[in-house]
């Protein structure tokens, strides 16, 4: 396949993607551990002369079974698709996940989806991956079915970093503490998210710092504070400084507010994609607006300096397009 394909089910699967090697998992973050899975996937697919696909699920199964969505998601479906494409895969299937789907028997998942719909050549999963009703689809179960039905199965362990494995939960914890550099290192790229630009209270414009405001997802747990950022909007790549949290004003589920340097176009209703370059400071309460403005001036200078020194973490980071 020459063009990356994103699908939401099996009925629309192009014939050219049948017989692929497939990696299955939640892939929240598509971090360096996941990238190892993808590298193995590409290698196996290339050796077999077949396409390489990711099969993943939205929303995250943990959110489906919780009383309300609670997970701090690193990558929603669009971000996972962007990362899969940048990693050189042929496509991604983002299956809608709900309680009804969770009751699919493991045997049916294999026979109807992996074999019947996809005709898989091989499957790669993490060693902790389970699927199907009551999580009966263990790695051992899948290997047994693969031997029976004629497809290869490979399981991979998580990647170690120091004394801990690289995991989505570890990256969430880093971001919730404002440890952007640590999170980006574990991810292997600068963490990004996107949202639609909405009207705010216009207070930033009154202070000389107009902002592009985006409402954050439920469960968004990034540390409140100020960040140096790069943003893509309307086909432009822009530098900026962003604030999350409004301790001097209404701080109930605040928007993420991005001030874009040397830019003042009307972008309401457009999608903005923001990558975190660095953490500048935590949120503070100032005595008055003059002190707040002075702090914003300092933050902007620091953000410009951080961005000027920033470099792509690797080839994936370059392909994502935040470094020109």
Enzyme catalytic residues: 257
Which one, of 224, 246, 245, 233, lies nearest residue 275 by Cα?
233
Q: How far apart are CA 230 and CA 239, in angstroms?
A: 5
For residues 168-207, one letter each, b for 16 or more C-beta atoms within 10 angstroms of the residue's C-beta and e for the rest, the string is bebbbebbeebbbebbbbbbbbbbbbbbebeebeebbeee
Tokens 């943990």 correspond to 62
Which one, of 71, 73, 75, lies nearest residue 86 by Cα?
75
Whether a cis peptide bond, with omega within 30° of 0, leads into 223 is no
Is the dihedral angle over the CA atoms 67, 69, 71, 72 positive or is it negative?
negative
Residue pair 267/195 in contact (Cβ under 8 Å)? The answer is no
Residue pair 187/159 in contact (Cβ under 8 Å)? The answer is no
Is the dihedral angle over the CA atoms 267, 85, 274, 71 positive or is it negative?
positive
Torsion angles phi and psi, residue 112, rounded to 5: -85, -40
**What's 281's DSSP letter?**
E
Structure tokens at 171: 């990256």
What are 42's strand-pairing partners? none
Structure tokens at 129: 């991956």
């Amino acid at each position: 396949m020459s063009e990356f394909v994103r699908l939401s089910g099996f009925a629309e699967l192009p014939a050219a993607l049948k017989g692929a090697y497939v990696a299955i998992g939640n892939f929240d973050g598509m971090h360096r551990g996941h990238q190892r899975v993808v590298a193995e996937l590409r290698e196996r697919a290339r050796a077999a002369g077949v396409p390489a696909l990711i099969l993943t699920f939205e929303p995250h199964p943990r959110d489906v079974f919780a009383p309300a969505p609670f997970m701090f998601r690193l990558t929603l479906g669009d971000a996972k698709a962007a990362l899969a494409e940048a990693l050189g895969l042929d496509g991604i299937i983002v299956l809608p996940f709900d309680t009804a789907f969770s009751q699919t028997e493991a045997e049916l998942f294999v026979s109807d989806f992996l074999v019947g719909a996809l005709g898989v050549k091989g499957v790669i999963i993490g060693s902790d991956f389970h699927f199907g009703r009551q999580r009966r689809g263990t790695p051992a179960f899948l290997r047994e079915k693969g031997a029976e039905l004629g497809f290869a199965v490979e399981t991979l362990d998580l990647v170690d970093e120091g004394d801990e494995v690289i995991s989505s939960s570890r990256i969430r914890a880093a971001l919730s503490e404002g440890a952007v550099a640590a999170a980006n290192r574990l991810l292997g790229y600068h963490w990004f998210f996107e949202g639609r630009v909405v009207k705010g209270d216009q207070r930033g414009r009154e202070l000389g710092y107009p902002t592009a405001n985006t409402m954050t997802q439920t469960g968004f747990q990034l540390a409140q504070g100020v960040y140096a950022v790069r943003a893509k909007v309307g086909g432009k790549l822009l530098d900026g400084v962003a604030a999350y949290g409004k301790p001097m004003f209404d701080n109930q589920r605040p928007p993420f507010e991005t001030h874009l340097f040397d830019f003042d176009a009307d972008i309401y209703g457009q999608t903005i994609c923001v990558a975190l370059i660095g953490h500048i400071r935590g949120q503070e309460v100032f005595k008055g607006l003059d002190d707040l403005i002075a702090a914003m001036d300092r933050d902007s200078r620091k953000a410009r300096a951080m961005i000027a020194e920033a470099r792509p973490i690797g080839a994936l980071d370059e392909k994502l397009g935040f470094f020109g």
